[in-house]
């Protein structure tokens, strides 16, 4: 996996505010990759960031993560939805405009993404 992509994803997750959630697809659109790649990065390298703030589009996490996520969500004021499998994204989704701004600042030292057009284009 591209180390630069991994770092961009992890820095994006670090910008998700306490008490807010984002979907894998939100992070994917932000960094220019796919949701599955974000999921893989989170599975392999996400242990040192707030992984419980990144869910699927329905606000759910894989079953093996739910118990710990519920505990961490409770500490942040995130209440599970009626299904018990996740939290309602309509209530807890982070402001994606603010997230993008904060992520760009957090990645300023990394230069433009590899797929970004150069100014000469």
Answering whether pTM is above 0.85, one says yes
Say how many C-beta atoms besides its own lie within 10 A of residue 76's C-beta.
15
- Give per-10-residue mean pLDDT for the chain (121 aa): 94 98 98 96 96 96 92 96 90 97 95 53 41
Q: How far is the C-alpha of 59 from the C-alpha of 44, rounded, in Å?
A: 20
Q: What is the CATH number of domain 3-110?
A: 1.10.10.10
Half-sphere exposure of 2 (CA within 13 A, CB side): 12
C-alpha distances in Å from residue 28, one per residue of 19, 39, 78, 95: 20, 9, 23, 15
């Amino acid at each position: 996996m591209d180390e630069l992509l991994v770092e961009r994803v992890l820095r994006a997750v670090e910008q998700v505010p306490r008490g807010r959630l984002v979907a894998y697809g939100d992070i994917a659109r932000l960094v220019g990759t796919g949701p599955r790649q974000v999921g893989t990065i989170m599975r392999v390298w996400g242990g040192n960031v707030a992984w419980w703030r990144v869910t699927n589009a329905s606000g759910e996490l894989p079953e093996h993560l739910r118990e710990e996520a519920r505990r961490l969500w409770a500490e942040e004021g995130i209440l599970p939805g009626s299904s018990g499998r996740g939290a309602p994204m309509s209530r807890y989704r982070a402001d994606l405009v603010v997230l993008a701004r904060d992520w760009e600042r957090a990645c300023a030292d990394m230069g433009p993404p590899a797929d970004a057009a150069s100014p000469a284009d």
